[in-house]
Amino acid sequence: MPRPLPLAFAALVGSAAPCSAQLLVQGIRDLDFGPVIQGIATSVPPTDPIRSGQFYFRTPGLGTRIRIQFTLPTRLNGPAGARLPISFGANDAMARGTAPASAPAFFNPNGAVVYQMVTSPDANVWIGGRVTPAANQAVGSYTNTIVITVTIL
Partner 1 sequence: MIRAAGTALLTLIGLATSAAAQGVLVAPHAVVIDHRTRSAAITLYNPGSEPAEVTIATFFGYPVTDSTGDFELATPTAPGALPSAAGWVEAYPRRTVIGPLERQTVRLLARTPNGLADGEYWTRIMITATGGRAPVVVDSAPAGIQVGLNLEVRTIIPLQYRKGSVTTGAQLERPRVTRVGDSLLVRARMVRQGNAAFVGTARGTLVDAGNRVVGSFSVPLAVYTEIDPRFTLSVAGLPAGRYRLVLELTAERADLPPEQILKASPSSTDVDVVLP
Partner 2 sequence: MRFFTKVSVATAIGLSLAGALEAQTSGTINARAVVRQPITITAGQDLDFGIVLQGSPRTIAETAAAAGRFDATGTANANVNVNFTLPANLVSGANNLPIGSWTGCYNQAAAVNASGCTTIANMSGTTATTFGNVAGNGRLWVFVGATVSPAAAQAVGTYTNTVTLTLTYF
Restricted to residues 39-68, the positions that interact with partner 2 (CB under 8 A) are 39-40, 42, 53-57, 65, 67
* End-to-end alpha carbon distance in the chain: 15
Return the residue of 46, 76, 93, 94 that touches partner 2, per CB under 8 A: 76
Q: Does 151 bind partner 2 (CB under 8 A)?
A: yes
Q: What's at 151, amino acid-wise?
A: T
Return the residue of 46, 93, 94, 137 that touches partner 2, per CB under 8 A: 137
Q: Which is nearer to partner 1, 27 or 39 (CB)?
A: 39
Partner that binds at residue 120, options partner 2, partner 1, none, CB closer than 5 to 8 Å by kind: partner 2
Report the C-alpha gap between 102 and 13 in whole angstroms.
25
Residue 57 contacts residue 63 (beta carbons within 8 Å): no
Cα separations in angstroms, 8 against 4, 13, 57, 129? 12, 9, 19, 37
Q: Residue 77: beta bridge partners?
A: 83, 143
Give the nearest distance from C-beta 47 to partner 2 in angstroms: 16
Selected range binding partner 1 among 31-39, 52-60, 100-108, 110-118, rule: CB under 8 A = 31-39
